Structure 1
Amino acid sequence: MALSSNCWKYLVLTFNVLFAMSAVVLFGASGFFLYRLFIYRHFIGVTVEYPAILLLMMAIITCSIAWIGWRTAKSMHQIHVIMAGILIILVVIIEFSCFVWAMVVWDNIEIDIKTTMTSYFMLSSENKETNADSVRWDRLHVKFECCGVSGPNDYSSTGHVPFSCCGQGPLDSMQKPYTSDCSTLYQRGCGNLLHDYAKNQLLMVAMAALTASMLQSTGIFCTFFLAHAIKEKRRASIRHSTSVRESTFAAPDDSLLTPTAPAPTLPKY
C-alpha cells in the first residue's frame, strides 16, 4: 500500500468536512437561484424551477451523507465505508443528472416561456386592473423596462396601456424610483427579456450542479481506497496471527521423551 489505512482515514474525514461545507454552499446557491426563478413563476411556469428544487434537495441530503461518511470513517468498518461510498456515488449521479436536466430545460425554455406568458397575459387582461395579476405585470414592466409580451401593441385589445409601461407602477422597495411622466412607452416586450433572464438562472443552476458533482466525485476514490486499505490491514493481521501460531507449534517439545532418571539396574545376588 502506498498509504496506510490511517492516512486514508484522515483523508476521508477531511473530505467529509469539505463535503458538508460544499453542501452548505450548494444549499445557499440553489436557494438563491430558486428564489430568482420563483418570483416570476407566473410568467415562466413552475417547470423551469424543478432543476433548482432538485439541487436544493440534494444539498440537504448531502449534509446527512457527509455525517454518515464521517461516522463510518471513524468506525473503520469496511462494509460501512463501502456503503458510504455508494451513497456518494448516488449523490454525484443525481447532481450530474440535475445538470443535464437544467441544460435540457435551458434549451427548450423559449417556447415554454412565450406560451406561459401569453396565456397569463390573456388571463390577466380579462380581470380588473386592481387585481394581483395586474400588479405582477406592473412590477415586471418596471423591473425590465418592457411592456406586454412582445410590446405595447399587446394592449390594443384592451384599449389602454398601463402606466407601468412608462415606468410608473406600484411602489416596491426592490425597484428603482419611478418616473413622474408617461411621455414615452417602453417599446420592447417582456418575453425576450424574461427568456434571457430565466436562461441565465438555469445556466447558473446547471454550472452549480456540474461543479458540485465534479468536486464531490473525489470522495468516491478516497472512500473506496480506505475500504481497500482496511481490507489489506485485516489480511495482514490475519497473516501475522497465522505465522505466530505456526511458529508456536512448528517445533514440538521433545523434553518429555528425554529420560530424566538413571535406568534401573538389575539387583545383584
Structure 2
Amino acid sequence: MALSTNCWKYLVLTFNVLFAMSAVVLFGVSGFLLYKLFVYRHFIGVNAEYPAILLLMMAIITCSVAWIGWRTAKSMHHFHIVLTGVLIFVVVVIQFSCFVWAMVVWDSVDIDIKNSMSSYFDLANELNNPNSPDSIRWDRLHVQFECCGVSGPGDYGQKGSVPFSCCGQGPLDAKFKPYTADCSTLYQRGCAKPLHHYTRQQLLLVAMAALIASILQSSGIFCTFFLAHAITKRRRASIRNSSSIREATFSAPDDSLLSPTAPAPTLPKY
C-alpha cells in the first residue's frame, strides 16, 4: 500500500512539472496569437481577441495551480490534494470553454470584420489626411495583403483618387506621393476577404491550442484523485492495524501470577 501511494505521489509530482511546462508553452503560443490579432484590431474588432486573451490568462493561472499541486503532493495532505484536483478540473473546463468560444467566433467573424472595416474605412476617409495613423494603417494593410479598400478600389470612387498603397507602395512612400489615380498594377481585390481568412486562421490556432491543452492537462485530474484515494486507503489500513493490535493487547490473558518468579504462598503464623 505504501509503495502504491508513493508511486502515485511521484506521478503527480511529474505531472505538475509537465503541467507547468505546458503552461509556459501555452503562454507563448497564446501571446503570439494575441499579438497577430491585436495588430489588426482596428479592422477586425476586439471580439476576435477575447478567446486569445482568456487563453493567455489561463496560462498564467495554470502556473499557479502547478505550484500548488507540487506543494500539496509533497505534503501528502488529503484535503489539499483533493482541492488541487478540483482546481485542475476547473482549469481544464475553462480551457475547453475557450476552445468552444474560439470556434463560435471563428464561425461568425465575417460579419464583425465587415462592419468594423466599413466603419474604420469611413473614419479614415472623413479625416482626409494621408499622414494620419488611420490612413497609414490602411496603407500597411493594402501592402501586406495586396488588396485595396474593403471590397475593392471602387470604394474610393466617391473620393476620386486611390491610395498609392493600392499600387504596392509602402506607407513611407505614401508620405512623398500620397495619392495617385494612375496605377499600372492596381490591386483589384478588397481587403475584407483576405483579412477574414487571416483572422479565421488565427482563431483556429487558438481553438486548437486550447483543445490540446485541455486534453493533455485532464490527465492530472485522474492522477491527483487516484493519489487522494491511495492516501485514504492507506489511512484506513493503518486504522485497522491499530485497532487489531489494541484488541489483541486487551484480549491476551494475564499469566503473570503463574510465572515461576512469583513468590510462593506462605502459611499464616500462629
Q: Same fold (TM over 0.5)?
A: yes
Give the structure 1 partner of residue 186 of structure 2.
185
What is the CA distance between 1:257 and its match in structure 2? 7.2
Paired residue for 1:67?
Answer: 67
**Structure 1 Cα separation of the partners of residues 84 and 199 of structure 2:** 36
Deviation at 1:203, TM superposition (A): 0.3
Number of the residue aligned with 1:260: 263
* TM-fit CA distance, 1:248: 1.6
- Distance in 2, matches of 1:101 and 1:246, equals 61
1:178 counterpart residue number: none
Per the alignment, residue 47 of structure 2 pairs with 47
Report percent identity of matched pairs: 74
Q: Which runs of 4+ in 1 moved over 6 A?
A: none
User: Counterpart in 2 of 1:133?
Assistant: 134
Letter in 1 for 2:219: T
Normalising to structure 1: TM-score of the pair? Answer: 0.92
Per-residue deviation, residues 189-239 of structure 1 (Å, max 9, x unmatched): 000000000000000000000000000000000000000001111111111
Decide whether aligned partners of structure 1 residues 14 and 171 sit closer, same or farther in structure 2, where only a CA change above 3 A counts: farther
Q: Alpha carbon RMSD of aligned pairs, Å?
A: 1.8
Quick one: distance in 1 between partners of 2:6 and 2:236?
A: 16
Q: CA deviation at 1:256?
A: 3.5
- CA distance in 1 between counterparts of 2:265 and 2:231 reads 58
> Secondary structure, in 3 states, of the residue corresponding to 1:63?
helix
CA distance in structure 1 between the aligned counterparts of 2:3 and 2:213, rounded to whole angstroms: 27
- 1:177 corresponds to: none
Deviates more, 1:241-250 or 1:114-123: 241-250
- Paired letter, 1:183: S
- Aligned counterparts of 2:166 and 2:145: Cα–Cα separation in 1: 10
Unaligned stretches of 5+ residues in structure 2: 174-181
The yes-or-no answer on 1:159 pairing with 2:160 is: yes
Aligned residues: 259
> Judging changes above 3 Å, is the alpha-carbon distance between structure 1 residues 74 and 149 closer, same or farther for their aligned structure 2 residues?
same
* 1:196 equivalent in structure 2: 197
Q: 1:79-228 counterparts in 2 under 5 A?
A: 79-127=79-127, 128-171=129-172, 182-228=183-229
**Structure 1 unaligned regions, length at least 5:** 173-180
In the other structure, the counterpart of 1:248 is: 249
Q: Which deviates more, 239-248 or 256-265?
A: 256-265
SS of residue matched to 1:146: coil
